[in-house]
Copies of this chain bind each other. A is one copy, B any other.
Amino acid sequence: MAGAEGIYGDLELSYPESDRLPYVLVNMVGSVDGRSSVGGKASGIGSRADREAMRALRSRVDAVMVGAGTLRAEKLNLGLDDPDARQPLAVVVAGEGDVPITERLVGLQRRVIVAAPEGSRRTPGSDGVPGAPLTVLETPRSGDGRADLRWLLGVLKSQHAVDRLLVEGGPTLNRSLIDEGLAQEVFLTISPKLLLGPESSILSGNQGGDQDEPPAEPRDLKLLSVHSAGDELFLRYRLRRHP
């Protein structure tokens, strides 16, 4: 087990396996009892080591993606702290609700891409962020009416040179990408807590088993690495292919 120094500092990522889609890493933080948030905010869980690991992952990718709900929950910086670093693109996947880019996206960004299903309510707050050009992508709708993620990933690759994509939640977006077979790796930080409450699970946005959600096939994982920092654990898994 590697120690606290430089978690993911020497991370080597595979080359993209597809000519048409990015290589997708899903990064999550959860408690020992598999819960994802404190009062709806994931930032209450992770430590400084977790934030450092997150920034190491971001430095390896071309774009960082979150769902609009995650942005609505708290202020986010999807970039790197180093002003000389090549910033990843910031991609926000919207549904029907607000996308408060201007209010909630902070820090340095090279470009902000908002993807929303065609015909959805126009996104207020989309004046963008100072110094970062804004691109709005109207996506086709998938079967459940949400943004077609496969289409979106294809456009990110073909039009925005995104070979590697880091997804940072929320739980619904993470799960959709995994369900649709679009994610290749899962990074999980286990915070040394039992949250115990009715907080949502790390891989679904509902507070307890949305009965409308179609049942998903369980997926097998290969454990790639284990790091620790203090009482916190950093796990890296590869998703095995569907049988």
Asked if A222 contacts B231 (CB within 8 A), the reply is yes
Q: Could you mark each residue 228-243 of chain A with 1 if its beta carbon is under 8 Å from any beta carbon of chain B, else 0?
A: 1011110101010000
Asked if A32 contacts B186 (CB within 8 A), the reply is yes
Asked if B218 contacts A193 (CB within 8 A), the reply is yes
Name the distance in Å between A50's Cβ and chain B's nearest Cβ.
Answer: 14
Q: A33-B34, A197-B218, A223-B233 are in contact. List 14 more A-B contacts (CB 8 A).
A: A178-B196, A192-B220, A194-B219, A194-B221, A195-B218, A197-B216, A198-B209, A207-B209, A223-B230, A223-B231, A226-B228, A226-B233, A231-B237, A233-B235
Across-interface contacts of A216 in B (CB, < 8 A) = 196-197
Name the distance in Å between A174's Cβ and chain B's nearest Cβ.
Answer: 9
CA distance A230 to B38 in the complex (A): 32
CA distance A219 to B193 in the complex (A): 6
Asked if B186 contacts A194 (CB within 8 A), the reply is yes
Across the interface, name the chain B residue whose C-beta is closest to A207: B209
Supply 17 A–B pairs (Cβ within 8 Å), ascending by A. Answer: A1-B1, A32-B237, A33-B34, A33-B202, A34-B35, A34-B202, A38-B218, A178-B194, A179-B196, A192-B220, A192-B237, A194-B218, A194-B221, A196-B216, A196-B217, A198-B210, A208-B208
Q: Does A175 contact B (CB under 8 A)?
A: yes
Q: Does A206 contact B (CB under 8 A)?
A: yes
CA distance A175 to B162 in the complex (A): 44
Q: Does A213 contact B (CB under 8 A)?
A: yes
Q: Does A170 contact B (CB under 8 A)?
A: no
Chain A positions within 8 Å of B, measured between CB atoms, are 1, 30-35, 38, 175, 178-179, 186, 188, 190, 192-198, 201-204, 206-211, 213, 215-223, 226, 228, 230-233, 235, 237, 239
Instruction: Quickly give the copy total for this chain.
Output: 2
Across-interface contacts of A175 in B (CB, < 8 A) = 196
Asked if B203 contacts A196 (CB within 8 A), the reply is yes
Query: Which of B34, B186, B196 is within 8 Å of A219, CB to CB?
Result: B196
CA distance A215 to B31 in the complex (A): 16
CA distance A107 to B67 in the complex (A): 50
Asked if B222 contacts A192 (CB within 8 A), the reply is yes
Asked if B201 contacts A221 (CB within 8 A), the reply is no
